[in-house]
Amino acid sequence: MPYAMYPMPAYAVVCDDVKGFSGHIQRLGYAIQNMGGYLRCPFPGVPGRERSQGALHHSLAVPVPLTAPQPLRMMRTMSSPSVGHSLAQPVARILAFFNQKGGTAKTTSTLNVGAALAERGRSVLVVDLDPQASLTMALGVNVAAVQGSTYDLLTDEDRPLADLTVPTPVFGLSLVPSHPDLAVAELELINMLERERQLAHKLSGALPYDYVLLDSPPSLNILSINILVAARELVIPIEPHPLALLVLPRLFDTLRKVRRLNQDLQVMGFLPTKVQRQARLTQDMLATLEQRYPACPLLPAVPWSVKGAEAVVERNSILHYSSRSPVAAAYREVAAALEQQESVP
Ligand SMILES: Nc1ncnc2c1ncn2[C@@H]1O[C@H](COP(=O)(O)OP(=O)(O)O)[C@@H](O)[C@H]1O
Ligand SMILES: [Mg+2]
């Protein structure tokens, strides 16, 4: 069947590492097969190759040498009958995990939703926008040795995103690391033109990712405003605790104000974290959330588990460290729910 006749969506695979190409394609073949699709690929020995029955997703592998830093980049392309022959404009979903309260599992959720999306075959970039650099450290990146960080992303016009991206131990997941210097970015931003839009500028245009996930600091400042202006979608991780409710009016008030700068911002829902189902307090809190914020759906809840902290020690995702745990299952459900809520085809 000619490529032009394949139903959408289609993926194009491009690679700058010709030696590693067949290995990448093989792993991708397995991932696509798991999703019920198949890989249209000119190379022999690739799983799922040429299978045409019951396919949901279709792919085209193109060995295009690139100068980009990642060995493999997978692009979701716009629907177009000629997509098989062209690398059309990629559409990245930019999602922020945001709550000005600390300890609500923003970082844990960014990492593990990212890992779950990568496991589903998506290409994901996580961006650590907290000067404490917890996400960076949780992915095993040495903060002291980074060559560039989100500090540079926000303050240096000449450092593009691709320059600052590093690989992680999670296949399909790249990172823009943080650095303690980010704490002073706020002072530098004050004197910059369009200071609220620095991150949005850097994330605009064609990005070689399906998802860009932003991890936020526990504050409401110019850094947080940059996140809210750059994101298209917002997930609010929240711990079922009465104190967690107290910060919400301020958060929604900020969102109302930010909408003047970013009309596209959409709240995808509360993500209840560290949930102890049997606790009465938890049930009451979740009911209160639904009652007070009916327009903000509840995403699948993540149970309380010591695995969260253990995975950080392992410098990897919970999905890798404890793949069959209820927390890993919950993050897979959250990723699936977010994919279903996708509004852009
Ligand atoms: N599901 C969970 N169960 C128990 N502890 C968790 C869970 N998720 C995260 N944690 C722990 O909660 C603490 C705060 O999580 P973190 O992701 O750093 O929050 P934030 O980024 O919002 O400050 C960390 O010690 C983390 O290991
Ligand atoms: Mg954090």
Per residue in 92-143, pLDDT (tens digit) is 999 999 999 999 999 999 999 999 999 999 999 999 999 999 999 999 999 9
Residue that has been written with the tokens 């253990």 in this structure: 310
Distance of alpha carbon 293 from alpha carbon 286, whole angstroms: 11
Contacts of 125 (CB under 8 A, 6+ apart): 92, 161, 165, 173, 174, 175, 176, 207, 209, 211, 212, 213
Pairing of strands 124-128, 173-176: parallel
Ligand nearest to the CA of 309: 1
Distance 105 CA to ligand 1 centre (A): 4
Is 301's C-beta closer than 6 angstroms to any atom of ligand 1? no
Q: Are 185 and 223 in contact (CB under 8 A)?
A: yes
The mean pLDDT of 225-245, rounded to a whole number, is 95
Distance 230 CA to ligand 2 centre (A): 18
Distance of alpha carbon 30 from alpha carbon 327, whole angstroms: 24
Q: How many CB atoms lie within 10 A of CB 51?
A: 14
Whole-angstrom CA distances from 300 to 160, 216, 337 are 35, 20, 8
Lowest mean pLDDT among 32-41, 49-58, 180-189, 229-238: 49-58
CA-closest residue to ligand 1 atom 16: 105
Given CA atoms 202, 204, 206, 210 in this order, what sign does their dihedral have?
positive
- Report which residue type is found at 2: P
Ligand 1 pocket test: pick from 108, 299, 317 the residue with the most ligand atoms within 8 Å of its Cβ: 108
Is 40's C-beta closer than 6 angstroms to any atom of ligand 1? no
Is 218's C-beta closer than 6 angstroms to any atom of ligand 1? yes
CA-closest residue to ligand 1 atom 10: 308
Distance of alpha carbon 196 from alpha carbon 129, whole angstroms: 14
Distance of alpha carbon 165 from alpha carbon 175, whole angstroms: 5
Is the whole model's pTM more than 0.85, yes or no?
Answer: no
For residues 198 and 68, the model is more confident at 198
Whole-angstrom CA distances from 256 to 129, 251, 253, 262, 329 are 22, 9, 5, 10, 33
Lowest mean pLDDT among 46-55, 145-154, 202-211, 261-270: 46-55
pLDDT in tens, 153-207: 999 999 999 999 999 999 999 999 999 999 999 889 988 888 999 999 999 988 9
Is 310's C-beta closer than 6 angstroms to any atom of ligand 1? no
Distance of alpha carbon 258 from alpha carbon 196, whole angstroms: 10
Distance of alpha carbon 31 from alpha carbon 121, whole angstroms: 6
CATH topology of domain 93-340: Rossmann fold (3.40.50)
| Residue ranges per structural domain of the chain | 3-77, 93-340
Is 103's C-beta closer than 6 angstroms to any atom of ligand 1? yes
Is 134's C-beta closer than 6 angstroms to any atom of ligand 1? yes
pLDDT in tens, 80-105: 333 333 344 457 999 999 999 999 99
Shortest-distance atom of ligand 1 to CA 215? 21
Ligand nearest to the CA of 317: 1
Given CA atoms 262, 221, 243, 271 in this order, what sign does their dihedral have?
positive
Distance 130 CA to ligand 2 centre (A): 6
Q: Are 178 and 131 in contact (CB under 8 A)?
A: yes
Shortest-distance atom of ligand 1 to CA 306? 4
Pairing of strands 93-97, 233-238: parallel
Contacts of 332 (CB under 8 A, 6+ apart): 116, 119, 319
Whole-angstrom CA distances from 175 to 37, 39, 135, 225, 236 are 28, 27, 9, 21, 21
Pairing of strands 211-215, 93-97: parallel
